[in-house]
Amino acid sequence: MDSNSPETPPPASEGQQRFASCRWQRAAEGDSPACCGHRDVLPMAGTTGFNPDSWCVDCGYYKVKRAPRARPAPGLSRWD
């Protein structure tokens, strides 16, 4: 490989892929890395020690994020 060519990042593991699409994913903020925000996982894994490869592969709480539904403009009713 040429030393001038950019290195490609390693492919995401199965746990990282599931974590990226899970509704319980809590995004990184300030000094806190991304972690699972589920009430049963957070006390055990914490925010700094969370590892998606340890938790997300066989997670019983896993739920896929859903696309938000379109909402009517404020002040308008469905029945008008």
The model's pLDDT over 3-60, given as tens digits with 9 standing for 90+, comes to 666 788 888 899 999 999 999 999 999 998 999 999 999 999 999 989 999 999 999 9
- The domain ranges of the chain are 14-55
Q: Are 65 and 20 within 8 A, CB to CB?
A: no
Amino acid, single-letter form, for residue 66: R
pTM (predicted TM-score): 0.68
